[in-house]
Structure 1
Amino acid sequence: MAGQADQLNTPGSGRGLLDVYGDRFLLKLLVRKEIKVRYRGSVLGLLWSYVKPLVQFLIYYVALGIFLNLQRGTPNYAIYLFAGIVLVNFFTESLSNATRSIVDNRDLIRKIYLPRELFPVATVWVSAAHFFPQLVVLVGACLLVGWTPTVFQLLAIILVFLMVAVLATGLGLLFGAMNVYFRDSENIVDMIVMVVTWASPVLYVWSMVERVMGPWFWVYQLNPMTVAVEVFHWSFWEPTLNTDQAVAQAIPPDLFGLWLPVAMIITLGILFLGQLTFRRLAVHFAQEL
């Protein structure tokens, strides 16, 4: 009996995200459940992964590319625009759903104990399942206009995707835990989602921001999503360009020597803060829900 007592854990305690890896089977079940619930009664199902970003792309392209004529100074503006949209959509969808994940699964949390981190992590995986079909469309469009990436550009795509997934997980843990106690957290996240598309060079080129901000351009570069979108443009858009001048303007200075490492450090810091906050607040989730 003494040996069994030594193996008992304090309710609500655990190893955080390490427990998610140990409970991979539960994670798969939650991902399947999220997808089934989201598309229950839907005619198109996962095809919405194509429809929503396509409509969003068309609206931005017509409004900005044609009406405001941004395509004149940006070769292959359609590729530039869509490359940014698919990455930002992955982040915003992951963050929004992770913020609501604990509250939305209140019935399950009140009944049994399982690593609470499973819920926000599962929503990021679901968002990844929506991201990959869009990525296939992006790759196909790039190939049509002569996309010839290097090995480093392909590796950069994987690295940036992982960085954005970690960033969304960290913020999802932070706001998901806070949302249990303060439902205003959802409104804060809604504002972040609204701002992030414009706070990153998705609809415009980074040089426009540099001209306006001048020596304060480094503040703009501190946003990890800004750096992530710039790397995505370097990986997808830059190989489709023909003129040396356009290639030279594709990415800002010191993107890989300075800003990408800084973005990764900030992302890991946010993940640490999110996990720390989540673990401290998760003990009383069941009571608060």
Structure 2
Amino acid sequence: MSYINALTDPEFNTPGRSKGLFDVFHHRHLLGLLVRKGIATRYYGSALGWIWSYVRPAAQFLMYDFIFGTVFQAHRDIPNFSIYLFSGIITINLFSEALRNTTDSITGNASLVKKIYLPRELFPVSAIGVAFVHFLPQAVILLIVCIFLGWTITWMQLLALVLGIFIVLVFALGLGLFFGSINVAQRDARNIVDLILMFATWLSPVLYQWTMLKAHLSPLALKIYMINPVTVTVELFHNVFWAAVPTDGRPLPERPSHLMLNALIGLVIALVTLLIGQLTFRKLEGNFAQHL
């Protein structure tokens, strides 16, 4: 089905029948078209195109690796610090792009929202899909480097990887539905999202070890920090990639206890966030067209 034909499907012309996120799965053909459209327009007119998907994380990695690994001697304290760093960076990049994309998804598709009735949740979910597609090249690079260093995967690691990706994308979608619906009328929401992403980068164990916070946080505050969905996903990625790479006899720093329990709690938090985001989105979506 072509993009135009999909948009003129009679099912999308009858207002008041939306079932929220359930409609997204019912209209997967249109979701696929929107994802492909988002990917095609991402680097439209760019000379380098998809290469930018590699350049930005590579620049981040080189800068952080030099400053924290070389200048602050993190290489001395953390074996395979480069793997530790990059596995955290790609997690934060996935969360950041997913949340930014979903927040901008309604305003960025204003012409479609105003002219054609279709399940509005398709736009945030397709934005999540675009973010995931751009995450894949970074993950492939990390995977190749880890295999070169002697990394092997187990079924538990594969489960942890899938769980981590699911948690961070559900969390980003929930926040994106919430802030994206508010952003239609109040564009300050986009600036709040930028602040959240700034804090997420520096308050997640990407550039440092989680144990460094023990001396600065109360036990309760540390527990809250460890069940944060972003922190949970970063540590799951550390377990899957960094902790599974041979260290040539060097001991690994202390790993979080009860990581899988924290992951399940983080998943519940992400799902509750998704529910709140969906309820907010459903409440405000009736006014999208007039604000756009």
TM-score, normalised to structure 2, is 0.92
1:235 aligns with 2:211: no
State the 1:13 CA deviation: 4.2
State the 1:119 CA deviation: 0.6
State the 1:116 CA deviation: 0.4
Whole-angstrom distance in 1 between the partners of 2:148 and 2:106: 43
1:253 aligns with 2:257: yes
Structure 2 letter corresponding to 1:158: V
**Out of 200, 203, 221, which is 1:199 matched to?**
203
Whole-angstrom distance in 2 between the partners of 1:260 and 1:244: 29
Structure 1 letter corresponding to 2:125: V
Call closer, same or farther: CA 1:37–1:9 in 2, change over 3 Å: closer
Structure 1 residue aligned with 2:3 = none
State the 1:255 CA deviation: 1.2
Deviations 1:175-203, CA, capped at 9 Å, x for gaps: 11010121100000000111111111011
Structure 2 letter corresponding to 1:266: I
Structure 2 letter corresponding to 1:21: F
**Out of 84, 89, 92, which is 2:93 matched to?**
89
Whole-angstrom distance in 2 between the partners of 1:117 and 1:188: 21
Whole-angstrom distance in 1 between the partners of 2:128 and 2:23: 16
SS in 1 for 2:150: coil
State the 1:23 CA deviation: 1.0
Structure 2 gaps, min length 5: 1-10
1:118 aligns with 2:137: no
Structure 1 residue aligned with 2:65 = 61
Does the 8 Å contact 1:167/1:267 carry over to 2?
yes
Deviations 1:32-68, CA, capped at 9 Å, x for gaps: 1112222111112112111110001001001111111
Whole-angstrom distance in 1 between the partners of 2:202 and 2:99: 16
State the 1:9 CA deviation: 9.2
State the 1:211 CA deviation: 3.0
Whole-angstrom distance in 1 between the partners of 2:175 and 2:129: 15
1:218 aligns with 2:218: no
Whole-angstrom distance in 2 between the partners of 1:84 and 1:8: 40
State the 1:214 CA deviation: 4.4
Does the 8 Å contact 2:79/2:252 carry over to 1?
no
Whole-angstrom distance in 2 between the partners of 1:40 and 1:245: 47
Structure 2 letter corresponding to 1:101: S
Whole-angstrom distance in 1 between the partners of 2:264 and 2:76: 33
Structure 1 residue aligned with 2:49 = 45
Does the 8 Å contact 1:101/1:176 carry over to 2?
yes
SS in 2 for 1:14: coil
Structure 1 residue aligned with 2:169 = 165
Structure 2 letter corresponding to 1:77: F
Structure 2 letter corresponding to 1:202: V
Does the 8 Å contact 1:12/1:113 carry over to 2?
no
Whole-angstrom distance in 2 between the partners of 1:8 and 1:223: 37
Does the 8 Å contact 2:54/2:138 carry over to 1?
yes
Whole-angstrom distance in 1 between the partners of 2:112 and 2:217: 49
Whole-angstrom distance in 2 between the partners of 1:288 and 1:196: 30
1:139 aligns with 2:143: yes
State the 1:87 CA deviation: 1.0
Whole-angstrom distance in 1 between the partners of 2:242 and 2:45: 38
Whole-angstrom distance in 2 between the partners of 1:13 and 1:189: 30
Structure 2 residue aligned with 1:286 = 289
Whole-angstrom distance in 1 between the partners of 2:17 and 2:185: 19
**Superposition misfits of 4+ residues, deviation over 4 angstroms:** 7-10
**Out of 265, 275, 280, which is 2:278 matched to?**
275
Whole-angstrom distance in 2 between the partners of 1:143 and 1:245: 19
Structure 1 letter corresponding to 2:50: L
Aligned length: 281
Whole-angstrom distance in 2 between the partners of 1:25 and 1:54: 34
State the 1:12 CA deviation: 4.3
Structure 1 gaps, min length 5: 1-6
State the 1:143 CA deviation: 1.1
TM-score, normalised to structure 1, is 0.93
Structure 2 letter corresponding to 1:281: L
